Amino acid sequence: MQKAKILIIDDNKSVLSALEILLQFEYESVEAISNPNQISSYPKLEEFDIVLLDMNFSAGVNTGNEGLFWLKEIKKKAPSTSVIMMTAYGAIDLAVTAVKQGASDFILKPWKNEKLLLTIKSAIELRKSKKEVQQLKSSEKNLKQVINQDKNLIVGNSKALHDVLNLVRKVAKTDVNVLITGENGTGKELIARELHRASTRQNEVFIGVDMGSISETLFESELFGHTKGSFTDAKEDRAGKFEAANSGTLFLDEMGNLSLQTQAKLLSAIQNRSIVRVGSNKNIPVDIRLVCATNCNLPEMVANGIFREDLLYRINTIHIEVPSLRERENDVIVLAEFFLDKFSNKYGKPQLRMNQSAQEKLLNYRWPGNVRELQHTMERAVILSDGNVLKPEDFLLTPSNNNMPDNSLATLDEMEKQMVKNALQKHDGNYSAAAEQLGVSRQTLYNKLKKWGMS
Ligand SMILES: Nc1ncnc2c1ncn2[C@@H]1O[C@H](COP(=O)(O)OP(=O)(O)OP(=O)(O)O)[C@@H](O)[C@H]1O
């Protein structure tokens, strides 16, 4: 017995009872009415999966117009219910008209039971998939709304930040590729989201990809998708990030971490505005707004032969440099107050304030980790505070010019990694200068970065 609700409408009593008897053995709920006017007394018509509807009701009239009229009425009241028309042999043209007007199928009288059951079965499946598509569409809409919510407030009063935001507003309405650069934690992703929010794509998705965390082997499948069976773990067809971002914005973060091989693949997708899933040979066009970000000096990397010049030209039609927190001093206190407010509410300490010397300590610090470091500093201070006033000693700040490795790191390898990171940060990603400071050749530095997956 299948779980479906069926309504039969036919003025011929023997047709009605024959159908009722046949279908009662197959389906959980079957109802029959001889007068279509009764439709209006079915307040929950949309609960029926299928309506079997005769095309002619008034005795002696065979125009089929009654059937078309009642089809329209049912579709008005219950758009997702499937209607199957029943018509006499010789009225096929009319049945085709009914299908064009929204009927899901038709059957000819006299019918063959197996054919009738098959027609009903496929109409039920069709209704089920239509319902699923509807549900998916509405949850996709909800998800987009949640994802694009204006929760990423950009805080700051400095001229440097205002200049960036002005530029963002100017380019947001266009579809040009944008490259956002700046030190770690300056707010590059926040700026990318703002670009999306101010663009004509604001109601579509914003898909962010951390290029630094994708392994070389999974790069193509992650970005371009794959077909089932194209490699051992490809259990089903899957769309990649480019397809997922279709109609929206694709944000590629940590662009400086790509190998030359992956750069070539990315360039081809960006140039052609289309991708090919791994294991397929079909070109799939994608309509995306591309925003990239990095804390590396890409022109320097081009000069060093480790970043493709043509890729750099493709991605940086407009270049936005997000200033470090050191360059926007006005913002330190404004941001600190913002985070204090946020975390004191979150941790149930709404009375908490900062005293003057605490503010001075924040102003005198260099903030190598920029806004992210300030955010963490404030959160930690709020959590650990005992009274109602934050004092300088509540802020745990690391000496800013310290390029030595953190001694709490567990292994030699980790300490080495930290030293390399610090050197690269100090020299804005310039490999030659970092290598010189570390006392190794550029090649040795490059080999190490490659070993750690940081090249
Ligand atoms: N102007 C700002 N106002 C409020 N919050 C900010 C601001 N700038 C940055 N933040 C917050 O600081 C954190 C770091 O920002 P974000 O991730 O955008 O930086 P990023 O430059 O992309 O970092 P990374 O280089 O590590 O990828 C986030 O939690 C972000 O919300």
Burial 214-225 (b: 16+ CB within 10 A, else e): beeeebbbbbbb
Query: Are 277 and 370 contained in the same domain?
Result: no
Coil/strand/helix, residue 184: coil
Q: Which pTM does this prediction carry?
A: 0.67
* CATH assignment of the domain containing 418: 1.10.10.60
Query: Is position 405 within any domain?
Result: no
In this structure, which residue's CA is closest to atom 16 in ligand 1? 187
Query: Are 250 and 231 contained in the same domain?
Result: yes
Query: Is position 42 within any domain?
Result: yes
Specify the ligand 1 atom closest to the Cα of 375. Answer: 12
| Among candidate residues 321, 353, 368, the one where a domain is terminated | 321
Query: Are 200 and 282 contained in the same domain?
Result: yes
Query: Are 257 and 272 contained in the same domain?
Result: yes
> What confidence score (pLDDT) does residue 141 get?
75
Pocket test for ligand 1, best of 154, 164, 189 (most atoms within 8 A of CB): 189
Structural domain tally of the chain? 4
Nearest Cα neighbor of 354 from 326, 375, 382, 376 is 382
pLDDT averaged over consecutive 10-residue blocks of the chain (455 residues)?
A: 90 92 93 89 86 81 80 91 86 86 91 93 89 81 67 87 96 96 96 94 92 89 91 87 95 93 94 94 94 95 94 96 92 96 94 94 93 96 93 84 44 73 82 80 81 75
Query: Is position 151 within any domain?
Result: no
For residue 333, what are the contacts with CB-CB under 8 A and spacing of at least 6?
A: 359, 362, 363
Give me 388's structure tokens. 């109602």
Element (H, E) at 9: strand 2-9
> Omega of the bond prior to 110 within 30 degrees of 0, cis?
yes
Query: Are 186 and 226 contained in the same domain?
Result: yes
Specify the ligand 1 atom closest to the Cα of 184. Answer: 25
Query: Are 98 and 178 contained in the same domain?
Result: no
> What confidence score (pLDDT) does residue 151 get?
61
> In sequence order, what DSSP letters do the residues of 145-166 get, joined into one string?
HHHT-TT-------HHHHHHHH
Query: Are 252 and 310 contained in the same domain?
Result: yes
Element (H, E) at 370: helix 370-384
Query: Are 286 and 366 contained in the same domain?
Result: no
Query: Is position 390 within any domain?
Result: yes
Distance 375 CA to ligand 1 centre (A): 9
Query: Are 63 and 86 contained in the same domain?
Result: yes
Query: What residues pair up with 32 in beta bridges, in sequence order?
Result: 8
| Among candidate residues 282, 304, 321, the one where a domain is terminated | 321
Residues with C-beta less than 6 Å from any ligand 1 atom? 154-156, 182, 184-190, 253, 295, 335, 371-372, 375
Query: Are 119 and 176 contained in the same domain?
Result: no
> What confidence score (pLDDT) does residue 403 get?
44
Q: What amino acid is encoded at 453 in this protein?
A: G
Radius of gyration of the chain (CA): 33
Query: Is position 279 within any domain?
Result: yes
Residue 192 · residue 165 · CB < 8 Å: no
* CATH assignment of the domain containing 243: 3.40.50.300
> What confidence score (pLDDT) does residue 422 get?
81
> What confidence score (pLDDT) does residue 430 get?
85
For residue 153, what are the contacts with CB-CB under 8 A and spacing of at least 6?
A: none
| Among candidate residues 288, 321, 354, the one where a domain is terminated | 321
Nearest Cα neighbor of 249 from 303, 205, 213 is 205
Distance 200 CA to ligand 1 centre (A): 23
Specify the ligand 1 atom closest to the Cα of 183. Answer: 25
User: What torsion, rounded to 10 degrees, do the Cα atoms 413, 415, 421, 422 define?
Assistant: -160
Strands 389-390 and 289-294: unpaired
Query: Is position 141 within any domain?
Result: no
* CATH assignment of the domain containing 355: 1.10.8.60
Coil/strand/helix, residue 361: helix
* CATH assignment of the domain containing 115: 3.40.50.2300
> What confidence score (pLDDT) does residue 363 get?
93
Give me 378's structure tokens. 């404030």
Pocket test for ligand 1, best of 206, 372, 428 (most atoms within 8 A of CB): 372
User: Alpha helix locations (H) across 148-252?
Assistant: 159-172, 188-197, 219-224, 241-244
What CA–CA distance (Å, rounded) separates 179 from 297? 12
Nearest Cα neighbor of 275 from 224, 228, 226, 227 is 224
Query: Is position 145 within any domain?
Result: no
DSSP 406: P
Query: Are 315 and 359 contained in the same domain?
Result: no
Query: What residues pair up with 50 in beta bridges, in sequence order?
Result: 6, 82
Expressed as residue numbers, the domain containing 222 is 159-321
Distance 35 CA to ligand 1 centre (A): 67
What CA–CA distance (Å, rounded) separates 284 from 282? 6
Pocket test for ligand 1, best of 209, 334, 371, 378 (most atoms within 8 A of CB): 371
Query: Are 386 and 420 contained in the same domain?
Result: no
Query: Is position 203 within any domain?
Result: yes
